[in-house]
Amino acid sequence: MAEKFIKVINVQILTLATREGLPDENAKPILRFELEDAREFFMVNIPFDIARNIAAHITDQSSSDSRLQVHELINELALVEKIEIDLLLPGQDVYQATINLVPEGFERGITLQMIPSHATLLAVVNDAPIFIADELITQAEEMRKQDV
């Protein structure tokens, strides 16, 4: 049986704030995915540079820097078709994403495994759909219930 995936309809960056309302420098950002079935999925410990770039693209904040970053370079070299957050790596408690892309000038696509936050950035920059394995969503919901 094929694995079931749920489409992401919105991505947000969440940060913890201090009492003064400033971002807490010791807390890493969180990615919040709103899903088409009205559930949510969260990923923690997102690198600051990745979170900043995702937030900039989501809010249409253009940079005055004319130099390309790696995620922008990929956009110039290949079409990102979709990403799927599809695996919790055994014994490591980190997720893996599979990215499907078609290099410029090629007919056949390639599939690569990536860090999900980096893959999410590529999807946001390229307006590519993001999908999350239903099994991972269910596991995360069960873990949150146990923590409460």
User: CATH no. for residue 139?
Assistant: 3.10.690.10
Res 83: pLDDT: 98
Number of domains in the chain: 1
Task: Give CA–CA dist 70/80, Å, rounded.
Answer: 14
* Residue 98 host element (H or E): strand 94-103
Q: What is the pLDDT of residue 75?
A: 76
Q: Please list the residues that pair with 9 across neighbouring strands.
A: none
DSSP state for residue 41 in the 8-state scheme: E
Pairing type for strands 94-103 and 110-114 reads antiparallel
Residue 60's identity, in one-letter code, is D
Structural tokens at position 19: 């009492």
The parent domain of residue 64 ranges over 5-147
Along the 148 residues of the chain, how does pLDDT read in single tens digits?
558 999 999 999 998 655 565 556 667 899 999 999 999 999 998 998 899 899 998 988 877 777 767 777 777 778 899 999 999 998 888 999 999 999 988 889 999 999 999 999 999 999 999 999 999 999 999 888 887 6
